[in-house]
Amino acid sequence: MNAAQMSSRNGNDHGEIRFLIDRNADGIIVVDADGLVVFANPAAEAIFGRSVETLLGSPIGIPLFASEALEITIHQPDGDPVEAEVRVVDTIWNHRPARLASLRDVSARRAIEERLRHSAKMEAVGRLTAGIAHDFNNLLTVVLGNLESAQRRSASGDASLNRALDNAKRAGERAARLTGRLLAFARRKPLEPRVLDINALVSGMSDLLQRTLGEEIEVRTALAPNLWPSEVDPTELEAAILNLAVNARDAMPSGGSLVIETANVEFDAAYGLANADAKAGEHIVVSVADSGIGMAPEVLKQVFEPFFTTKGGRGTGLGLSQVYGFVAQSGGHVRLYSEPGLGTTAKLFLPKAQTELGSQPQVAEASEPHLAYARPGETILLVEDDSDVRTFAATSLRELGYRVFEAIDGAAALEVLDREPEISLLFTDLGLPGGLDGKALAERARQRDPSLKVLITTAYAAVALIHDGRLDAGVDLLSKPFSFAALATRIRDVLDRKHGSEGVRILLVEDEELVRAYMVELLAESGWEAEEARSFQEGLTKFTAAGDGISAAIVDLGLPDRRGDELIREIRKSCPELPVILATGYASDVLRKQMSDDKYLQILEKPFDLDRIRTALSKLGVKIGPARSTNPSSVGGLRNREASSEADARAAANNLILPS
């Protein structure tokens, strides 16, 4: 290769290297021995906030030493900081010593890492506060309960004694509200969401907010037309808005303005990726903005932490923590924007409801508690491992007129249920020793007696009763601490509520209309309610919709779309212990072998009568009461409206013995 060819080759190599450097996503600069920039690629412009022309020949203001990768903060001319990872190597530039620095903008990565660290810290603090609140609420149950009892029994007429009891009770109630805020922050407070119009809720709060904030603060609303509905707990949303408003009042000691706005927004996938606590999709935003003193960035980073306050000794530091926990538990997220002297804006992003708006939110009027006493013969099984709480609850229930059995754990409770068939209601703590918690105990108890009423009490529901931020459907809950009046009202409410037809509700899946009518009549004779379905798909849909309301199932093997045994396998995915009867005209040995592992299933061959159904369900643990007298207007077990002729009745009876 001659000199001309070598020169051309070197020129091409240099051009390719320069092309790669110019296209590199990392900023690349070269500084000479005096610290002046002698080369910069286009990516360096974005990092330094200056053009290549202004960089060349000027010092960059940061020391560059050959070393392992370092992270530094670069302040751009407009004041925006950029977090950069820098690697420096010694090199030769124009035959003179120099240093080459590769700079990578890691601001986005650092922000994500900081959010993840913050989320982890908040989660850890949440677990701690939930545990504290759990123990504290047990203590408050006893303290408040005994104060109430002392007030009821105080007949001395001593005004100072009554005043002392009243003060102690108010202090206990305030402590209970504080623990409620702790549970809200920890996302352990059971929510009762419903689809509501947030505009109506905000409008209904305007007068309350104006009275709370005083005349020196102007309250305005800007409500978006056609606002989407959201499925949230209205009481907790009102509390969140009120907390933000009170914080705003404290930030405006000389008066100012508070503006509450609503709007529809939609987040894309990129927003979700950039914000770890946000989900892509349609949301409603409730914005609460004040004209107050604002907050510095270092304060803004800590405002959601429990017990952090800027109010000296005047605040609990739990207001914003409650807002944070409630919104997160509701599937949304919170953003706070603030600058010193420019006020603060809090934005609550709540997911759009998947169902249409029902009734408008209404604020229940406060009323004096009315004590609801027991009716003759009502018996309650109380299960509580804390002896003080158990003593208070048992004493209160007996004072209300109930017959009470007590147990300290699930095993003891099951023994009582086996021994005492007349128990009307199981009142159990959620957290029990011995490996069987209150929810599992309730499931076991209802296998023995599907008509048994259950009320669960807990200081916090945790994951046992809360899924997707809300209380599981079909769960009756009394939160600790509870008062004597609250206990009386909740017990009465659960006992008086009808469950099915005051007995067993059975899913009946049968495609033959006359056979299904005959079966409904048989079930009704035992006081059982039938949830009717004609196919695999309809049966699965009704089972899913009914949830815990189904006590047992009777499934025909031959269904028009898919076989009955396949439906049973679908049912088993969520209810492995639900009593099930598989009805068929002929049960082959193969079928019996396939179903033999299911100890909660009975195969019943057609034809069968009420006695055989009752016997099969009894073997599966379903409570069997006395059969009602047969309706004399029935023909062969069929109601006259279903089979108006003797021929129809005979056809139905013949159907019962056909193989499925």
**One fold for 379-496 and 505-655:** yes
pLDDT digits (tens, 9 = 90+) for 364-410: 444 444 567 888 889 999 999 888 888 888 988 998 899 999 999 99
Which of the 8 DSSP states describes residue 509? E
Q: Is the pLDDT of residue 122 over 90?
A: no
DSSP 307-327: T--SSTTS--S-HHHHHHHHH
CATH superfamily of 13-105: PAS domain (3.30.450.20)
Q: Which pLDDT value is given to residue 182?
A: 53
As a whole number of angstroms, the distance between CA 175 and CA 609 comes to 60
Q: Is the pLDDT of residue 76 over 60?
A: yes
Select the more confidently predicted residue: 657 or 112: 112
pLDDT digits (tens, 9 = 90+) for 621-650: 776 655 544 443 333 333 333 333 334 433
Burial of 579 (0-12, 13-18, 19+ CB in 10 A): buried
Q: Is the pLDDT of residue 582 over 60?
A: yes
Q: Which pLDDT value is given to residue 397?
A: 92
Q: Residues 377, 383, 384, CA angle at the centre, nearest 5°?
A: 135
Q: What is the pairing mode between strands 230-232 and 81-93? A: unpaired
The runs of H, that is alpha helices, within 564-640 are: 564-574, 589-595, 610-619
* Torsion over CA: 174, 177, 260, 276 (sign): positive
Burial of 235 (0-12, 13-18, 19+ CB in 10 A): middle
Structure tokens at 560: 């028009």
Structure tokens at 611: 């006695």
Radius of gyration of the chain (CA): 35
3-state SS string for 77-90:
CCCCEEEEEEEEEE
Q: Per the confidence metrics, is the pTM higher than 0.75?
A: no
Q: How many CB atoms lie within 10 A of CB 649?
A: 20
Confidence of residue 234 (pLDDT cuts 50, 70, 90): confident
Average pLDDT score over the chain: 75
Domain 379-496 belongs in CATH node 3.30.420.10: no
Whether the CB-CB separation of 26 and 104 falls below 8 Å is answered with yes
Select the more confidently predicted residue: 360 or 226: 226
3-state SS string for 112-172:
HHHHHHHHHHHHHHHHHHHHHHHHHHHHHHHHHHHHHHHHHHCCCCCHHHHHHHHHHHHHH
What are the sequence ranges of the domains in the chain?
13-105, 194-351, 379-496, 505-655
Which of the 8 DSSP states describes residue 630? P
As a whole number of angstroms, the distance between CA 191 and CA 493 comes to 19
As a whole number of angstroms, the distance between CA 462 and CA 339 comes to 37
Give whole-number Cα distances, 211 to 4, 131, 203, 245, 423, in Å.
90, 36, 14, 11, 49
Q: What are phi and psi of 464, to 5 degrees?
A: -70, -35
What percentage of the chain exceeds 90 in pLDDT? 8
Q: Is the pLDDT of residue 472 over 70?
A: no
Least-confidence region, from 117-121, 203-207, 426-430, 598-602? 117-121
Q: What CATH code would you report for 505-655? A: 3.40.50.2300
Whether the CB-CB separation of 71 and 85 falls below 8 Å is answered with yes
Least-confidence region, from 199-213, 233-247, 343-357, 488-502? 488-502
Q: Which residue has the tokens 């009481």?
A: 235
- Give me the count of residues in the chain: 660
What percentage of the chain exceeds 70 in pLDDT? 67
The highest-level CATH class for domain 194-351 is alpha beta
CB hemisphere CA count around 84 (13 angstroms): 27
Q: How large is the greatest C-alpha to C-alpha distance in the chain, in angstroms?
A: 120
Whether the CB-CB separation of 278 and 329 falls below 8 Å is answered with no
pLDDT digits (tens, 9 = 90+) for 280-299: 788 899 999 998 888 887 77
Q: Which pLDDT value is given to residue 415?
A: 93
Residue (of 506, 239, 194) closest to 354 by Cα position:
194
Q: Which residue has the tokens 């759009």?
A: 352
